[in-house]
Amino acid sequence: MADQPQSARCPALFLAAPSSGAGKTTITAALARNFRQQGKVVRVFKTGPDYLDPQILAQASGEPVEQLDMWMAGEAYCQQKLYEAALEADLILVEGVMGMFDGEPSSADLAARFSIPMAIVMDVKGMAQTAAAVALGLANFRDDITVAGLIANSCGTERHAQLIRDALPPELPLLATLPRDPDVALPERHLGLVQADEVREELELRFNRGAEWIDGNAITELPSEVEFASAEVKPAEPLLSGKRIGVAKDAAFSFIYDANLRLLTEMGAEYHFFSPLTDSELPDVDALWLPGGYPELHAAHLSSNKPMLEAIQAFHRQGKPVLAECGGFLYCLQTLTDLEEQQYPMVGLLTGHGAMRGKRGCQGMQTAQLPEGDVRAHAHHRSRCFAMDEPIAHGKRQRHPAPGEPIFRDGSVTASYLHLFFPSNPAAIAAIFSGQFEKCGAHTE
């Protein structure tokens, strides 16, 4: 908008760690809830293509949570989202992903690009002075980042904390010491944290317990301010004007980027949620989006909802567009075998079968090389598909020459394990949902 400033300043802190499993999400949620209880507006961002952590952090902060990934979304997108948050927030928190230098781009790359000071979150169980040595090494590994200090998670006693504090140099203070507390740790399952809607009341108790944690053990003053400049991103063209899109959303299908929904609206579409678990009919729509989620946990229920299966099959026979991602892709196959090795009939829009495979899986950033254009995406699944027709394309892995996830098209259905980030190519997404795509492998009956 013309009357908005070109930049905005806001206190900001980037929470990173030496590795996954250090407690970043638990501590970020506790900080967000603590400052929210102080009456502050806290905007939280999550690094990388994550669905579950943002659900948790949105409940803790009471504000929407955006994913930031400079490869998937682009620098300008990330810059604009931080700027917009700075216009309204009293505090910005960014949770990193994996280890602080892992990935391309890494958490450290994102923090360096936007000059956000980092706090190192470390699980210090089983070490004392060594924690200081590791933190000091991380802080000095690159000269383009600023590290505000160390947050020592799973710290046993005050003596334990003092040993770490005394070993740290003055320029790298101990910001917080937090005990191992099972009443604060967040519940998990095979793909990560449990969805927030499944355990909302339990999470409230854990957030409030975490906020008490912060009061007694951590700095509760705002960090230093950071200046965030506007990227002046151009608005999306109305390529889906007048289109109505049905979006599956329930306990089985919930891996939905808010950025994707927002883009559909910006392109002129209306979206309408429906539940493949509980609804008996589809809304009056022109296209369907079946996103990822946990269909394997609800396979029996999905399979028994015959009216919905028949409604989606009829929708497909009319030649209307269907985009299916990961869990939605499994739902479109003929059968799905769950974690207990029970096989259930699914919608059957595509030839082939899906089956869970325990802890083995695939994850990583890929470009979906669709006939309509390249779309940035990622994969994260612990299942396999087999007895499929030939794919129309494959994903291109970010850092490996091997072919990525297969992409299938049968008539008006486009399906893959890939989770697409719509803003990376709005024109391609508009072509898919409007049915203006190459109809490879047309289905005949």
Percentage of the chain beyond pLDDT 90 is: 75
Answer yes or no: do 197 and 255 share one domain. Answer: no
Please check whether residue 236 lies inside any domain of the structure.
no
Measured torsion, CA atoms of residues 399, 401, 406, 407, in degrees rounded to the nearest 10 = 70
Is residue 193 scored above 50 in pLDDT?
no
> Do residues 387 and 228 lie in contact, with contact meaning Cβ atoms separated by under 8 Å?
no
Per DSSP, 412 falls in state: T
> Do residues 114 and 82 lie in contact, with contact meaning Cβ atoms separated by under 8 Å?
yes
Number of neighbouring beta carbons within 10 Å of residue 196: 20
Q: Where are the alpha helices (DSSP H) in 90-168?
A: 107-113, 129-139, 158-167
Answer yes or no: do 209 and 350 share one domain. Answer: no
Please count the structural domains in the chain: 2
Answer yes or no: do 249 and 225 share one domain. Answer: no
- For 377, the token pair is 């995406």
Answer yes or no: do 223 and 249 share one domain. Answer: no
Answer yes or no: do 336 and 274 share one domain. Answer: yes
pLDDT at 442: 33
Estimate the share of the chain in helix, then strand, then coil, as percent rounded to the nearest 5. 30, 30, 40
CA 173 from chain centre, in angstroms, equals 31
Answer yes or no: do 201 and 70 share one domain. Answer: yes
Q: pLDDT confidence of 181, banded at 50, 70, 90?
A: low
Weakest mean pLDDT among 202-216, 292-306, 310-324, 357-371: 202-216
Does the active-site annotation cover 326? Answer: yes
Per DSSP, 198 falls in state: G
Answer yes or no: do 206 and 268 share one domain. Answer: no
Measured torsion, CA atoms of residues 414, 419, 421, 424, in degrees rounded to the nearest 10 = -60
User: 348-366 pLDDT, tens per residue?
Assistant: 999 999 999 866 556 789 9
Helices 52-61, 24-37: crossing angle, 10 deg rounding: 20
Please list the residues that pair with 415 across neighbouring strands. 324, 408
pLDDT at 53: 87
Name, in order, each residue with C-beta under 8 angstroms of 147's C-beta and a sequence gap of 6 or more. 117, 118, 119, 120, 135, 138, 139, 172
The one-letter amino acid at 112? A
User: 86-96 pLDDT, tens per residue?
Assistant: 999 999 999 99
Answer yes or no: do 90 and 129 share one domain. Answer: yes
- Please, how many CA atoms are within 13 Å of residue 421, restricted to the half-sphere of its CB? 23
Please list the residues that pair with 152 across neighbouring strands. 122, 177
Distance CA 410, CA 328 (A): 15
Task: Identify which of 120, 171, 148, 145 has the alpha carbon closest to the alpha carbon of residue 11.
Answer: 148
Helices 158-167, 129-139: crossing angle, 10 deg rounding: 40
Distance CA 289, CA 272 (A): 10
Task: Identify which of 22, 20, 63, 19 has the alpha carbon closest to the alpha carbon of residue 41.
Answer: 63
Please check whether residue 237 lies inside any domain of the structure.
no
Answer yes or no: do 209 and 271 share one domain. Answer: no
Containing structural domain, residue 386 = 244-434
The one-letter amino acid at 42? V
At which of 201, 229, 257 does a domain end?
229
CATH number at residue 155: 3.40.50.300
At which of 173, 203, 229 does a domain end?
229
Number of neighbouring beta carbons within 10 Å of residue 369: 16
Please check whether residue 129 lies inside any domain of the structure.
yes
Please check whether residue 176 lies inside any domain of the structure.
yes
Please check whether residue 235 lies inside any domain of the structure.
no
Strands in 81-124 per DSSP E: 91-95, 118-123
Answer yes or no: do 51 and 190 share one domain. Answer: yes
At which of 229, 256, 288 does a domain end?
229
Longest dimension (CA), the chain: 74
Compute the average pLDDT of residues 296-323: 97
H or E segment and range at residue 355 = strand 353-356
User: 110-144 pLDDT, tens per residue?
Assistant: 999 999 999 999 999 999 999 999 999 999 999 99
Per DSSP, 218 falls in state: B
Answer yes or no: do 189 and 258 share one domain. Answer: no
Q: Which of 326, 362, 385, 440 is catalytic?
A: 326
Please check whether residue 445 lies inside any domain of the structure.
no
Answer yes or no: do 355 and 429 share one domain. Answer: yes
CATH number at residue 372: 3.40.50.880
pLDDT at 361: 58
Please check whether residue 258 lies inside any domain of the structure.
yes
Please check whether residue 292 lies inside any domain of the structure.
yes
Mean pLDDT over each residue of the chain, to the nearest integer: 90
Strands in 113-269 per DSSP E: 118-123, 147-153, 174-178, 188-189, 192-193, 225-229, 244-248, 253-255
